[in-house]
């Protein structure tokens, strides 16, 4: 029997603004999330590390 988890197992993240002109750490975070091109959507596991990376680049991505 599967436990009911209040958080979703995965998060869909879409890159909506470019990383061009951003500092190196922001670009590396986008790369770590697998976001390499505009409007690319990736489905990631919902972990504290991934949520931290998303919060760091929240002004460039859309979560949904």
Residue-wise pLDDT for 48-57, tens only, equals: 999 999 999 9
- Helix (H) or strand (E) holding 31, with range, is helix 24-33
Query: Is 18-63 CATH 3.30.1390.20?
Result: yes
Task: Report the mean per-residue pLDDT for the chain.
Answer: 93
CA distance 34 to 49: 14
- What was the pLDDT predicted at 63? 96
39: Cα separation from own chain's centroid? 12
Residue-wise pLDDT for 13-33, tens only, equals: 999 999 999 999 999 999 999
- What was the pLDDT predicted at 3? 58
Domain boundaries, the chain: 18-63
Cβ neighbors of 8 (< 8 A, separation 6 or more) are: 46
């Amino acid at each position: 029997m599967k436990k009911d988890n209040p958080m979703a197992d995965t998060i869909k993240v879409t890159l909506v603004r470019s990383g061009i002109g951003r500092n190196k750490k922001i670009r590396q975070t986008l790369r770590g999330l697998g976001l390499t091109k505009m409007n690319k959507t990736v489905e990631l596991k919902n972990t504290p590390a991934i949520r931290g990376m998303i919060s760091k680049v929240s002004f460039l991505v859309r979560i949904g």
